[in-house]
Structure 1
Amino acid sequence: MEIQLLTLQSNNLSKMRTFYIETLGFPLIAEDDHSFRIGVGSSQLEFTSKNVKRNPYYHFAINIPSNLFQEAKAWLKGKVNLLLEDDDDEAYFSFWQAYACYFEDPSGNIVELITRTKENPKSNSPFSIRHMLNISEIGLVVKDAPKVGELLKEFNIYERDNDPITNSSLSFMQDQKNGVFILLTGTGRRWLFSEKKSEIFSMKITLDTNITLGVDDELEFFVANSNYKVT
């Protein structure tokens, strides 16, 4: 699966637009009075101010070429302050053979740049915003993660290692091994490189498999395709 469109809420739309388009240089795809949409490689990312409750924040990750992590990190450090975990500004995940670094945007989202040496392609040109490959991960926080995990199986989306899904675990859900995941979890789990804990906020994920899922304005999970809907 690929994440075609990720729609997140924000109550700092003007600052977010300046940050993503002017500071980081993402291309603007569309905008209106209540939202703007940017291109993230083969994915699109939309922020909307409609029906915002409280101060929503999310965790999402962006894939970058497998050989450009240090270049990407240096590029990012020239624009934002990198987040730290145990005084380190990068992480190595041995089970993925992956490197990642993290930053916060004006809405407090925890954003990750990640390179997976097995899945992500290489590039021969110096790193730039054009090297963002796609949205790699999105944290999906729900009231009942085991129940949602069972519902996702009906759409052929499974935990990557078939491990048990609990409300306290972070379950990597996918339908193929291509470095794109829905990170399923319950509330109260600390996001890596942040002191923030997972909370439920409205969001929508549109996949290239004709599936739309997320959390509605009543903070309830939903998933549907053109022929079948589950809430």
Structure 2
Amino acid sequence: MIINKVTLYSHAWNEMRSFYVDVLGFDLLSQTDDGFEIKAGESVLEIKKYHHKGKPFYHFAMNIPTNLFTSAKAWAKSKVELTREDDDDEVYFSFSDAHSFYFLDPSGNIVGFISRYSVSPESEAKSFSAQNVLCISEINITTDEVTVLGNQLINNGVPVRKGEAIREDGLNFMGEHEAGSFLLLGPRKRRWIFSDKESEIFPLSLVINQQLAISLDGEGLMELKKLKITKGKD
């Protein structure tokens, strides 16, 4: 599964644009009075203004080259404070064979940078920059209807990682392990690691495999729409 685009909402739109473009150095693809888009490797991250009460936050992660984890961590620490868990500012996931570190952006999103050693490539770059990001690799889908939404995703070609069963009260990695990108499907009130934040329901939308548009409303209900693939002319 490839996550082509993710659209999130923010109460701190101006600060988010400055953070991602001016501080972190991501390429700005477009900007309107209502939002902006940045290039995250093969993916697009769109941040739109939130016109309602509340302060939306999400967990998302980006894949980075396997040989640039140490460089990426040093790069991030020069720009933002990394969050910690049990006094560590990085974690190794043995099940996924991956290293990750985390930080918070101006909207309070829990942002992860991940090197997945079994699936992500190396880079010829000697040091890390935002242009070395490979893709958006994780985005949360938080709902009170975990099993219902999980089955909807499965029926639309998004399996649970390694054929695992859907857990109503746990975090489900939806997507093929070999592709290294996942939708993190889970309930509210789960604490996100490397933060003191608990998962909550906020609207979001995304496109995967250039074939399926997924949107989540403020109540945690999901709509899926298959997209028409436009073939180029000979």
TM-score between the two structures when normalised by the length of structure 1: 0.94
Give 1:24's aligned residue. Answer: 24
CA RMSD of aligned residues (A): 1.4
Secondary structure at the residue paired with 2:178? Answer: coil
Cα distance per residue 1:137-192 (max 9 Å; x no partner): 00110121011111111111111132222332110001462101001001111101
Q: 1:222 offset after TM fit, Å?
A: 1.4
CA distance in 2, matches of 1:21, 1:226: 30
Give 1:111's aligned residue. Answer: 111
Q: Percent identity?
A: 41
Q: Which runs of 5+ in 1 are unaligned?
A: none
- 2:100 is aligned with 1:100: yes
CA distance in 2, matches of 1:67, 1:210: 31
The aligned runs of 1:1-231 (5 Å cut-off) are: 1-125=1-125, 126-175=127-176, 177-226=178-227
Q: Which amino acid aligns with 1:139?
A: N
Q: Which amino acid aligns with 2:144?
A: K
1:88/1:143 CA distance change after superposition, 3 Å: same
CA distance in 1, matches of 2:152, 2:159: 10
Secondary structure at the residue paired with 1:84? Answer: coil
Secondary structure at the residue paired with 1:190? Answer: coil
CA distance in 1, matches of 2:138, 2:91: 16
Is residue 82–residue 102 contact of structure 2 (8 Å, CA) maintained in 1? Answer: yes
Q: 1:223 offset after TM fit, Å?
A: 1.4
Q: Which runs of 5+ in 2 are unaligned?
A: 229-234
CA distance in 1, matches of 2:33, 2:19: 17
CA distance in 1, matches of 2:164, 2:59: 22
Is residue 167–residue 187 contact of structure 1 (8 Å, CA) maintained in 2? Answer: no
Secondary structure at the residue paired with 2:215? Answer: strand
Cα distance per residue 1:48-87 (max 9 Å; x no partner): 0144441100000000001110110000000000000000
Pick the structure with more helix per residue.
Answer: 2
Q: Which amino acid aligns with 2:7?
A: T
Give 2:232's aligned residue. Answer: none
Secondary structure at the residue paired with 2:67? Answer: coil
Aligned residues: 227
CA distance in 1, matches of 2:104, 2:172: 22
Q: Which amino acid aligns with 1:121?
A: P
Cα distance per residue 1:84-136 (max 9 Å; x no partner): 00000000001111100000000000000000111110012121111100000
